[in-house]
């Protein structure tokens, strides 16, 4: 499998990454290698293995519906790049 350049730029756009032309080519090759490895894994016969998304063995790891403590507002906003009073501030969102 060969990954196309526009697939790389598409994924970069989704991840909000601005890549230079050289970077697109460099990541294209790296991702290609990763995908080739996955292709190899795909060849393993798994017809007798149940499909699963996890192998940790845990199921129904839930908690009771009890309120716990929250962060003080000052702490919650401590890493905000911008804030306005007790809100996070972001560039204008026009819907």
Partner 1 sequence: MAHADAAAGARGDGDAVMTATSAVSTLDQVMQRWEPVIGLEVHGQLLTQSKMFCGCSADYIGSPPNSNTCPVCLGLPGMLPVMNRVAIEYTVRSALALNCEIPEHSKFDRKNYFYPDLPKGYQISQWDMPLSLNGHLTFTVDGEEVRCGITRVHLEEDTGTLQHAGDILQQARSSVVDLNRAGVPLMEIVGEPDLRTPAQAREYLVRLRQILVYIGVNDGNLEQGSFRCDANISLRKYGDTGLGVKVEVKNMNSFRAVQRALEFEIVRQGRLLDQGQTIAQETRGWVEAKGATISQRSKEYAHDYRYFPEPDLPPLHLSAEFVDRVRAALPELPQQLAERLQREHGLSAYDAANLTAEREDARAFEALVAAGVPAKVAANWLMGEVARLARETRIPLQGSGLGLEGLASLIKLVEAGTINGSTAKELLEELYLAGGDPAAAVRERGLGQVSDQAELERLVDAVIAENPAAVADFQGGKEQALQRLVGGVMKATRGRADAKVVTGLLRERLAS
Residue 87 within binding range of partner 1, rule CB under 8 A: yes
65 binds partner 1 (CB under 8 A): yes
Q: Does 35 bind partner 1 (CB under 8 A)?
A: no
Q: Judged by CB under 8 A, does residue 60 bind partner 1?
A: yes
Bin 75: left if φ > 0, else alpha if -120 < ψ < 50, else beta. Answer: alpha
Check if the beta carbon of residue 69 is closer than 8 Å to that of residue 63. Answer: no
Q: Verify binding: residue 63, partner 1, rule CB under 8 A.
A: yes
CB distance 27 to 8 below 8 Å? yes
Stretch that binds partner 1, among 1-9, 20-28, 36-44, 72-80 (CB under 8 A): 72-80
């Amino acid at each position: 499998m060969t990954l196309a350049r526009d697939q790389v730029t598409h994924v970069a756009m989704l991840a909000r990454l601005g890549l230079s032309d050289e970077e697109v080519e460099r990541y294209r090759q790296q991702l290609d290698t990763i995908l080739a490895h996955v292709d190899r894994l795909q060849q393993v016969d798994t017809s007798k293995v149940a499909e699963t998304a996890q192998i940790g063995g845990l199921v129904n790891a839930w908690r009771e519906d009890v309120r716990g403590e929250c962060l003080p507002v000052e702490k919650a906003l401590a890493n905000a790049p911008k804030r306005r009073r007790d809100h996070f501030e972001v560039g204008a969102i026009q819907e």
